[in-house]
Each structure stands twice: as structure tokens, then as C-alpha cells.
Amino acid sequence: MLSLYRRHRPRTFDEVVGQEHIVRTLRNAIELGKVHHAYLFVGSRGTGKTSMAKLLACALNADDGPRADFSPDDPTCRAIAAGTSLDVVEMDAASNNSVDDIRELRENVALQPMAGGRRVYILDEAHMLSTSAWNAFLKTLEEPPPHVVFVLATTEAHKVPATIIDRCHRFDFGRPSLEQLAGVLRRVAAQEEIEVPPAAVGMIARAATGSFRDALGTLEQLVTYGGARIELADVLEVLGVADAELVFEAAEALADHDSKAALLGVERLAASGRELPQFIRDLAAHLRHLFVTQTLGEVPETFSVTAEHTDRIAAQAERLPQGELLRAIDLLAAALAAIKDGSEPRIQLELALMKATKPDADLSLGALAFRVEQLEERLAALGASSDGARAATAESPPPSGSSNGAAPERPVAVSSPPPTESAAPAVSPSPSATTASSPAPPRSPAESPSSPPPSTTTLDLAALRTLWPSVVDAVRAENAMVGALLGEARPAELEGERLTVALPPGADFTLRKIEANRSLVQTALRRLTGGALMLSFELSDGGGLTASPPMLTEEALLERLKQEFGAREIFEDDPPKPEE
């Protein structure tokens, strides 16, 4: 007994669903007598490529043909539909892909039609032919006998040589919509006297993912499972909705950062006997659905089987940030790669879920960046609720030891750095940098040591002077000479977002060098403070330097560079160019 999808193939061009542009073109070609000698049908599985090829063969071999409005009850057309016609040859290129197979085809091409007007060769999965087979087939495809028509069907057109595509008329078969799939299911169910509730029809159509063959195959499986009366519970069972529940539970564990629930879910998965690698792929696909839903702002109709699934996908998409989704997908992909290399599937799945739910247990750079991102989100939330406390802190007088009795400097609100720069400084702070918090303004209750700092910090001149040794260390790590020169400078004045850095009188050489590397100093300062302060360097009369060690003259600096860094003087006619 033939399967449903074979019994209910379209018998005429009028019964074709979803490929109207192809039907119209072929109809016109048949009626105008302009049928090409080679066609290339491209499309995903189950979209009707082979069925369309057989309809074309029926039209070319119909009585009083060729004619597009042929009768499906003609003996020739019935033989073609049943696969018994000698004038229609179907070949599976997946199993007949050698040079010998093509040579045999070339020998048979010369035979005249037995009953109809054309011999039609349908080559399915054409992309599976070997390169040598394509080369042997090329000349025959280009100049076949006038009574021969070739139809090449493939799901992967990019694997077909360009020399073959150039000699064919190409038609691309689109995936049918859910309404078209549901319409075919209802028609077939009515003809087969199968009772299917509307909700079940929609579920089967969604699960088919654009394939008529898959939709009818699922319908036939349901009939075998529960008889001619299909219940909604049977559809849920056959479509694996119970397995989908495990995927949703794993996503919930990721959203809750609940490692215990994730491990218990793996235990239930193992007890169910389901393949772990397939579950990893399904979970990765589900997370991808959440990511797409976040981007589009709605759940695409093909992403879910039931309306309940649609609501759950939308809810989970709101709970999981995109950064967490992308990181979890990367972890699952790494787990699949490790399994492919021979690792234990359960260990890899548990490891991926643990890393996704507990980022603090992952010591990789990606996990560090993720933790920084999470910290920034918490800081932003805390900052939004503590504006009043920060305003009070900004208006309070600085500690007595924060300056030399001078009037307090106007504070500068510096925004928190981006994630890549928050984790960037790999420079070990100098001993003086470890005490940077001591002269800072008093903490408000929202900024207690036990809670994370707010998303913005307040810097005054005293705090910048305390932080300056760390800036010098960061610059020295990038450029030792510039760092040595910068060690003799001191923050002198803060006006708004402009910081004036003072150098000792007569240090013209030092000033030129630091000015030439201004961007290096600004980058170090931004990484350590989180704010983009404008820097201004100038020679001081000595009043702007607080407790500064004696500055080196140019001759003394050159002598130190020779001793500490093995430098030597190079004399040139042209003035030295600033360092990049």
C-alpha cells in the first residue's frame, strides 16, 4: 500500500500548492512549444520537486499532447504517476553517481520513446554526482536528442557545477506557508476519512517546517498510532512535546541561574533514554529561537508547536539577556565539538550548563567579560536608585586630609567603563595605588563596602592625585620611557572634565615627550577612572605640585635612562620625531 504522500501527490498542475510561479512558466512553455531540454529544480525537501517533474512528463506525453491541461486518467499519465512508464526514467544520483552509471544513461538516451512523445529523465539528488560523472554527463546534457528532456532535482544547488547550471532552466521551489500546509492536511484527512481537530492540524503543520511530505508522513503516523480519530494528546505525544518540556526546563534553569535545577534536568534526561547530543542541539536551537524572538520583538509562527509554547518562548526571551544567550549557545557548541572528539556526552552537557548558570566558576576570558557585564547591569540599577545619596555625597565636604586646606574641587561624574575596558587593565597597581580609597569622599549607605559601588563615581583633585601612581604604572607597562617621564608630573588643577597636569619648570623635553604620547596617558586614565578626562600638560611654577620629589633635568634624565635601561644617545641632523 502506498504511503499518504505518494497517494496524494498532485495529479494536475491545478492541484499544485505553493509553487504558482513555476506552474505558470511550465504551462506557458508547453502551450507555446518552448519546452527546454534541461531543467534544474532547486528546493528544500518535501516541496514538490519530483511531483512537478512527473507532471511535466505527463504534459509532454499526454494524448493529443503536449498539453498543459492533460487528463490524469489517461493511460500514459496513470503509468507515469505509478512509476511504470518506460518513457520516464527516475534515477537516484545518491546511489547512481559513478561514471559507469552516466555512461549507461548516455547509451539509453538515443532510444526513441515507447508510447509518448518525449523521454523524460528525472535525476533526483543531482548534487550527489561525482565530478567525473558530471564531466561525462556535460556534453549529453548540453546537446541531447530532440526527444529527450532532463529534469535535475536537488536540495543543494551550490554543489552543482556552474557549467551544468548554465545549461539548465532553473526553478526555485519555496517552502509552503502554514496555511497551505494546513489546507493540504485538511483535504487529505477528508479524503481519507480521518478526524483531526483544528488544533492538531495546526500543530502538525508547524512541526512539518515547510515540508508537504513531512506533514503527510506525520498524519499517517498518527493514524497508525491512534486510528482514524486523532486526539490532541496523541499529537502531543507523537510530536515529542514531552521532550520539548525538558528543553524549556533547561532554559528556565539558565534564566534562574539555578545550577541545581540544571543538573536535575540532566538526570531526568538521562533517565528518559534520550540521546544527549541531540538534546544539546535541540537546546541550542531553542536558545537561538529566544535570540531571534528578542531581535524581532515577536515569536515567529514556525518556532512553536502550540500556543502555550509561543507564550513560554516569549516569556523566556524577556528573561534571558542576549549576552547570556550567546554565551550559552557557544558553550553548547563547544560541548558538541568535545563529544565529537570522543568526550563523555553527559559530562560535557553538565559542564556547559554549570558554566552557563554559574559564570563565577568559569575562569575563561569570556566568562570574565560576562561577569563584568553583569556587574555593570547591577551597578546601573543601583545607581538609578541612589541618585539622592550620591548628590548628598557630592555636596559633603572632603576629608580633612584630602587637600592642603584648599577649597574643595568641583567633583566630576565619571561614567562606568564599557565591558571590554573594565576587564582590560592587566597592570599590577603600585603600592601607593592600593590606598587609593583612603582619601576618597565618605561613602553613603548605598555605597557601603558590603555592596557594589554605584555605576558612577565622583572624582576630585585629591582622588586623582592619589590614583596618579597607578596611571603612571599603566603607562610604564606600555612605554617604559614615557612612564618614567610621567612619574615626575602631578595633577595640578581640575576644571569640569579638564585635568591640568603640571611639570616642573625647565622640563621642556619631558613636556614634549608626554604631549607626543597624550593618547597613551588618556587611555590609562580612562581605564582606571572610567571617565574620559581631557588632559592639559603645562610647566608649573612649583605651586601646583604637592609633595613632589625633585624633578630631573634633561641631562639627569638622560643619564638615568642610560643606567637603568641601557639607552644610548643618537645624534641626527633632523629633529627627533614624536613617538607613535
Q: Which sequence spans correspond to the domains of the chain?
A: 4-173, 178-238, 241-361, 409-442+454-565
Antiparallel, parallel or unpaired: β 490-495 and 498-503: antiparallel
Please give the average per-residue pLDDT across 247-265, as a whole number: 90
pLDDT greater than 70 at residue 433: no
Q: Is 267 exposed, middle or buried (0-12, 13-18, 19+ CB in 10 A)?
A: exposed
Kindly report the CATH class assigned to 409-442+454-565.
alpha beta
pLDDT band with cut points at 50, 70 and 90 for residue 149: very high
Q: Which three cell numbers stand for residue 369?
A: 567579560
pLDDT at residue 539 tops 70: yes
Q: What is the pLDDT of residue 56?
A: 93
> Does the domain at residues 4-173 carry the CATH identifier 3.40.50.300?
yes
Residues 149-171 have a mean pLDDT of 92
Number of H helices, E strands in the chain: 25, 10
Burial of 175 (0-12, 13-18, 19+ CB in 10 A): middle
Which pLDDT band holds residue 413 (cuts at 50, 70, 90)? very low
Instruction: Report the pLDDT value the prediction gives residue 566, as an integer from 0 to 100.
Output: 67
Q: In what order do the strands lie in the sheet with 38-43?
A: 88-92, 119-124, 148-154, 38-43, 169-173
Least confident of 192-201, 537-546, 570-579: 570-579
pLDDT at 53: 93
pLDDT at 414: 41
**Which of these, 350, 17, 417, lies nearest to 177 by C-alpha position?**
17
pLDDT surpasses 50 at 204: yes
| Per-residue confidence (pLDDT) for residue 403, from 0 to 100 | 40
Least confident of 85-94, 176-185, 355-364, 463-472: 355-364
CB 417 within 8 A of CB 380: no
Q: Of 36-40, 93-97, 510-514, give the range with the top mean pLDDT.
A: 36-40
CB 332 within 8 A of CB 287: yes
Distance CA 128, CA 122 (A): 14
565, three cell numbers = 635601561
Mean pLDDT is lowest, of 224-233, 323-332, 457-466, for 457-466
- Cβ–Cβ < 8 Å for 423, 369: yes
The residues, any chain, with a CB within 8 Å of residue 452's CB and separated by 6 or more, are 375, 378, 379, 382
Provide the pLDDT for residue 408. Answer: 44
Residue of 70 and 431 predicted with greater confidence: 70
What share of the chain in percent tops pLDDT 70? 76
pLDDT at 323 over 60: yes
- Residue 4 to residues 200, 233, 402: CA-CA distances in angstroms? 17, 22, 86
Given a cut of 60, whether residue 534 has pLDDT beyond it is yes
pTM score, whole prediction: 0.55
Instruction: Look up residue 508 and give its three cell numbers.
Output: 621642556
User: Is there a cis peptide before residue 442, judged by omega within 30 degrees of 0?
Assistant: no
Look-up of cell digits 599590577: 428
* pLDDT band at 454; cut points 50, 70, 90: very low
> By three-state DSSP, how is residue 490 classified?
strand
Q: What is the pLDDT of residue 39?
A: 94
What is the model's pLDDT at position 335? 92
Question: For residue range 377-391, what is the model confidence (pLDDT) as tens digits?
Answer: 667 767 666 655 555
d(CA 55, CA 72): 9
* Alpha-carbon span 418 to 500, nearest angstrom: 25
pLDDT value, residue 438: 38
pLDDT tier, 142 (very low <50, low <70, confident <90, very high otherwise): confident
Q: Do 57 and 88 contact (CB within 8 A), yes or no?
A: yes
Instruction: With CA atoms as reference, report the closest residue to 169 among 70, 267, 274, 28.
Output: 28
Q: Tens digits of per-residue pLDDT, 98-127? A: 888 888 888 888 888 887 688 899 999 889
Q: Which residue has the cell 592625585?
A: 465
Say if residue 304's pLDDT is above 70. no
What is the mean pLDDT of the segment spanning 55-60? 92
Reported as a pLDDT band with limits 50, 70 and 90, residue 202 is confident
pLDDT at residue 24, rounded to an integer: 94
Most confident of 325-334, 449-458, 474-483: 325-334
Average model confidence (pLDDT) for the chain? 78
- Indicate whether 3 pLDDT > 80: yes
What is the arithmetic mean of pLDDT over 323-332? 89
Please tell me the distance from the alpha carbon of residue 341 to that of residue 334, in angstroms, as a whole number. 11
**Is pLDDT of 415 > 50?**
no
Asked whether the predicted pLDDT for residue 318 surpasses 80, the reply is: yes
More confident position, 221 or 574: 221
CATH number of 178-238: 1.10.8.60
Question: Which of 192, 321, 178, 309 has its CA nearest to residue 243?
Answer: 309
How far is the C-alpha of 555 from the C-alpha of 568, rounded, in Å? 13
Residues 334-380: tens digit of each pLDDT: 999 999 988 899 999 999 999 888 876 666 665 566 567 667 766 77
Residue 440 confidence class, pLDDT cut points 50, 70, 90: very low
Q: For residues 153 and 159, give the distance between their C-alpha atoms in angstroms, rounded to a whole number.
A: 12
CB 297 within 8 A of CB 367: no
First-residue to last-residue Cα distance in the chain = 80
CB-count burial class (<10 Å; 0-12, 13-18, 19+) for 565: exposed
- Specify the fold of 241-361: Zinc Finger, Delta Prime; domain 3 (1.20.272)
CB-based contacts of 126, cutoff 8 Å, min separation 6: 40, 93, 152, 153, 154, 160
Q: Which residues contact 112 (CB under 8 A, 6 or more apart)?
A: 119, 147
Q: What is the C-alpha separation between 11 and 365, in angstroms, rounded? A: 60
Reported as a pLDDT band with limits 50, 70 and 90, residue 85 is confident
Tell me which of 93-97, 154-158, 281-285, 337-341 is least confident.
93-97
User: CA nearest 509: which of 477, 556, 541, 449?
Assistant: 556
What was the pLDDT predicted at 184?
92
